[in-house]
Chain A
Amino acid sequence: MENIFIILLGLSMIYIAATSRLSAHINMLIAQGWLLFFVCLSGFAKEPWFNWHMVAGPSCITANMPHIISLLFIIVETLIVKAIVIPLFLKKVLKKTQAHRDTEANIPHFYSLFIASIILFGGFLVANIGAPEFKLVDSMYFGVSLSIIITSLWLITIKHKVLSNVIGFITMENGIFLLSLSVAKEMPIIVNLGVLLDIFIAVFILGMLVNEINNEFEDLEVAHLSDLKDYEYND
């Protein structure tokens, strides 16, 4: 079951690579938040302690407290922050800055679609390489998260709008989150908490900066932000 969600996550990156409307990208962020939530949930459903009895009575709740805390945490992290708060915030920024499309990307959409597919395929290939080292990781998680991270980095380099760079950053964080899910039981919860906080604040700060850039330069082209140079003095 979880494999379906993971594959859908990989496909969502192909969709992001092939469209230019920023609101579509933000909708995809919402979809990714939900998909990550389902991936977590189906991971939990496999655990032996996961059933409705765990919330049956006070004694059961105290016995399962660590599990319930991590479950609650994942609900907060994926569902509330990734699927609701960050996309809403970005939509607000989008509305304010009136930057609806990221046209003139360096690479036409058809090629983007093609390259993103190749990266996804490459991720699967690497994860299923069959070397003994790769026995330590779940190939589905590893392959898709690798391809999400690489696609996001590549999208950041070809896009021209500041806001699409922020979106690329968030999809990269989603990919990393998927990777951390594959080793989630080893990760101390406080680290996850830190990750959550960092993404939240980073996006907040990036959003603020986008607003400032918008006020200062009147549109959100990355090209405005290349004035500081080594050999020319223009300060």
Chain B
Amino acid sequence: MINLILLFPILAFIILALCKKKFLNNLMINIYAAVHFIVSTAFCLNTDFLPMWKPCRFFAVDDTNKIFLMVMSAVFLAVAVYNNGYVKKETSLTKKLRHYTYMVLFFVFSMTGAVLSNNLGIAWVFIEGTTLASAYLIYFHKTKHSIEAAWKYVFICSIGIALAFVGIILMTIATGSLNSLFYSDLYNNAPLFNHFWLQLSFVFILFGIGTKMGLAPVHFWLPDAHAEAPSPISALLSATLLNSAFLMIVNVFRVMVFSGCSGYARIMLLVMGFLSLFITAVFVYHINNYKRMLAYSSIENMGILAIGTALGGVGMLAAMIHLIGHSLIKGAFFLTSGNILEIYGTKKIKSVTGLLKTDRRTGWLWILSFVGIAAFPPSVLFVSEFLMVKTMFLEKHYILCALFLLLLTIVIYGLAKAVIGMAFSSNKEENATEQREKVVLDWTMYLPQIVMLLIAFGIGIYMPRGLSETVLMSVAGF
């Protein structure tokens, strides 16, 4: 089955290159999303409907990456549905659309490869692949600003990933005579590793892959890239790409835990996590571009994931729940921001007034996404953040706990100010309102967000047994 999701995009690529029909572009993305979703659901249910077709030894599904795969599939399916309506509005050029399709397929392919690979080196190669694929997607609008964003993205991430490769080389020095980068070999032999080189390699890998994940202080590409990319791509970047980088950090962190020198790694993760929260709290208040504001919120949430990982135990469990919730809600948030951009034609917060009056559904989606991301119950993020606070409390990190709550409150205030202002303020110019009301959006541009938010709120109220068991299994060993 792994072969199916890894080989399908290549097949789609060939079909698209051979017959250049316009309708095929969207169809391919939709079919791939469906295949992706079916396969990963089958993995979660532990059924293999193609048992004869064995994948190559570099790819495997284990307890940890199962969750990441499932989240990616769900978000990709939502984005694919949204995309049907979006590209109709966005471009009529067949060639541009075809390039877009190629790159979306390649982008999702490389993220899937990064999530499924059970070898540190191969995961690294695929993470680099995601940079190359998404660079074009960020540059899609071909304006001065999108060039700038794409340039910063490619350059900063390439340097980060190159440094992560230095980390992998240092890891091979630490492993001594173990001639392998497979995670299972690394876990089994971890107690024998040289601690000095292992710690050094963790620094490089954390900073390198942390660049990709958007942790402060190496987050600088993130707001620009998320703000300039087309909205479906922003959703993919925020809800799936950052996760696949996080998976690599989790796997390397597990090596540190097994080798018995995780104390140092935990401190580094904590520092980067709190720095991410701090940076968001400082910047989010004055921001005047709503897509940028969402990008900063992604940095904040990645910071929370890093903090949860550092806490370990229940904190790690909370981080996994947070990851699921954040991906669903932030995906919906970014897709809704795409609707607003279509209606108003600007990304400026002050220029968007009376959203609820102009388009009721978009307005409510915007507010509900905010309620979800701000972790008000019944959002699933409430569960994860509550667990995290509880863990900090039980482990007697009172100052950390207070800092965590304070920073989160500031971030929520900053977000709320912008979101409520956009949704509830009265329209200033009546003519413009009439113009805007003429913009009619496809039903595909509402449905994915509604479903994603329903799931996120639903599992906040009742988490199915299967899901909670999968989450528990994924954090075994921390």
A and B bound? Answer: yes
Contacts from A to B (Cβ < 8 Å): 131, 133, 136-137, 149, 153, 156, 162, 165, 169, 172-173, 176, 179-180, 183, 185-188, 190-191, 194-195, 197-198, 201-202, 205-206, 209, 212-213, 216-217, 224-228, 230-233, 235
B124 near A194: Cβ-Cβ < 8 Å: yes
Q: What residues of chain B lie closer than 8 Å to A187, measured between beta carbons? A: 121, 169, 172
Contact across chains for A195 and B176 when beta carbons are under 8 A apart: no
A210: min CB distance to chain B, Å = 9
Contact (Cβ within 8 A) B128 A169: no
Task: Write the nearest CB–CB distance from B216 to chain A, whole angstroms.
Answer: 13
The answer on a CB contact under 8 Å between B347 and A235 is yes
Contact with A136, one of B145, B176, B179 (Cβ below 8 angstroms): B176
Decide yes or no: A172 and B121 within 8 Å by CB, A227-B145, A230-B287 being known contacts. no
Contacts of B119 in A (CB 8 A): 188
Give B138-176 as 1s and 0s: 1 = Cβ < 8 Å from A's Cβ atoms.
Answer: 010010110111111011001101100110110011011
Total cross-chain contacts (CB, 8 A): 127
Partner of B145, one of A173, A197, A228: A228
Q: How far is the CB of B42 from chain A (nearest CB, A)?
A: 28
B contacts, CB < 8 Å to A: 58, 119, 121-122, 124-125, 128-129, 131-132, 135-136, 139, 142, 144-145, 147-152, 154-155, 158-159, 161-162, 165-166, 168-169, 172-173, 175-176, 179, 181, 194, 196-197, 223-224, 227-228, 283, 286-289, 292, 346-348
Beta-carbon nearest neighbor of B291 in chain A:
A235
B152 CB contacts on chain A under 8 angstroms? 225
**Cross-chain contact A133 with B148 (CB below 8 angstroms):** no
Q: Are B132 and A201 in contact, CB atoms less than 8 angstroms apart?
A: yes
In the complex, the answer to whether B159 meets A212 with C-beta atoms within 8 Å is no
* A165 nearest CB neighbor, chain B only: B155
Task: Give A216 to B139 CA distance when docked, in angstroms.
Answer: 13
Partner pick for B172 among A153, A186, A206, A231, CB 8 A cutoff: A186
B151 to A176, Cβ gap below 8 A?
no
| Contact A136–B227 (Cβ < 8 Å) | no
Measured CA separation A216–B292 after assembly (Å): 24
Contact B172 A205 (CB under 8 A): no
Q: Which of A162, A179, A186, A231 has the most CB of B within 10 A?
A: A186
A205-B132 contact in complex given A136-B173, A137-B173, A194-B124, C-beta closer than 8 Å = yes
- Please name the residue on chain A nearest to B177 by beta carbon: A186
User: A206–B131 Cα gap in the complex (Å)?
Assistant: 12
CB pair B121 A190 closer than 8 Å: yes
Q: Can you give 12 contacting A-B residue pairs, CB < 8 Å? A: A133-B197, A153-B159, A172-B159, A173-B162, A179-B169, A180-B165, A191-B122, A194-B121, A197-B125, A205-B132, A225-B152, A233-B347
Q: Which residues of A contact B196 (CB under 8 A)?
A: 131, 133
In the complex, what distance in Å separates the CA atom of A190 from the CA atom of B165? 14
A126, chain B: closest CB distance, angstroms: 12
Whether the pair A206, B286 counts as a contact (CB closer than 8 A) is no
Q: A188 contacts which chain B residues (CB < 8 A)?
A: 119, 121, 181
Contacts of B346 in A (CB 8 A): 235
Q: Are B286 and A227 in contact (CB under 8 A)?
A: no
**How far does the alpha carbon of A208 sit from the alpha carbon of B286 in the complex, in Å?**
35
A169 to B162, CA, bound (A): 9
Measured CA separation A202–B347 after assembly (Å):
30
- What separation, in Å, do the CA atoms of A190 and B144 have in the docked complex? 37
A149 B166 Cβ-Cβ under 8 A: yes
A136 cross-chain contacts in B, Cβ below 8 A = 173, 176, 194, 197
Contact across chains for B166 and A217 when beta carbons are under 8 A apart: no
Report the bound CA distance from A206 to B136 in whole Å: 11
CB pair B147–A228 under 8 Å, yes or no, is no
With A133-B196, A233-B289 as known contacts, state yes or no: A217 contacts B348, CB within 8 Å. Answer: no
Cβ of A43 to closest chain B Cβ, rounded Å: 16
- Knowing A133-B197, A198-B128, the reply to whether A169 touches B158 (Cβ < 8 A) is yes
**A190 touches which of B122, B135, B158, B286 (Cβ 8 Å):** B122
Q: Which 5 A-B pairs have the closest CB atoms?
A: A194-B125, A191-B121, A133-B196, A198-B128, A233-B288
Closest to A197 in B: B125
Chain B residue at smallest Cβ distance from A168: B159
Bound-state CA distance A165–B158 (Å) is 12
Residue of B nearest to A204 (CB): B132
Contacts of B162 in A (CB 8 A): 169, 172-173, 176
Name A194's closest neighbour in chain B (CB-CB): B125
Q: A213-B151, A227-B144 are in contact. List 13 more A-B contacts (CB 8 A).
A: A176-B165, A179-B169, A187-B121, A188-B181, A191-B124, A202-B128, A206-B154, A212-B147, A216-B144, A224-B148, A228-B145, A228-B227, A230-B287
Residues in A neighbouring B131, C-beta threshold 8 A:
202
Q: Is the CB of A230 within 8 A of B148?
A: no
Residues of A within 8 A of B286 (CB): 230-231
Q: Are A205 and B154 closer than 8 Å at their CB atoms?
A: yes
Q: Is the CB of B166 within 8 A of A179?
A: yes
The distance in angstroms between the C-alpha atoms of A187 and B178, with both chains bound, is: 11
Closest residue to B120 on the A side, CB-wise?
A191
**CA A209 to CA B150, docked complex, whole Å:** 8
Report whether A227 and B148 are in contact in the complex, using a CB–CB cutoff of 8 Å: yes
- Nearest-neighbour CB distance to chain A for B386, whole angstroms, equals 30
Q: How far, in angstroms, from A233 to B168 measured CA to CA in the complex?
A: 40
Residues A235 and B125 in contact, CB atoms below 8 Å apart: no
The residue in A169, A180, A230 that gathers the most chain B C-beta atoms within 10 A of its C-beta is A230
Which of the residues A197, A206, A225, A231 comes within 8 Å of B287, measured between beta carbons? A231
> Closest CB-CB distance, B123 to chain A, in whole Å?
10
**Complex Cα gap A79–B347 (Å):** 48
A227 to B152 Cα, complex, angstroms:
12
Nearest CB of chain A from residue B430's CB, rounded to whole Å: 24
Residues of B within 8 A of A190 (CB): 58, 121-122, 125
Question: How far does the alpha carbon of A156 sit from the alpha carbon of B176 in the complex, in Å?
Answer: 33
Within 8 Å by CB of A202, from B121, B147, B158, B288, lies B158
A180:B194 contact, CB within 8 angstroms:
no
Which residues of chain A are near B165, meaning CB under 8 Å? 176, 180, 195
Nearest residue in B to A195 (C-beta to C-beta)? B165
Q: Are B128 and A194 in contact (CB under 8 A)?
A: yes
C-alpha spacing A156/B155, complex, angstroms: 10
Asked if residues B155 and A230 are in contact (CB atoms below 8 Å), the reply is no
- Bound CA span A57–B120, Å: 38
* Closest B residue to A206 using CB positions: B154
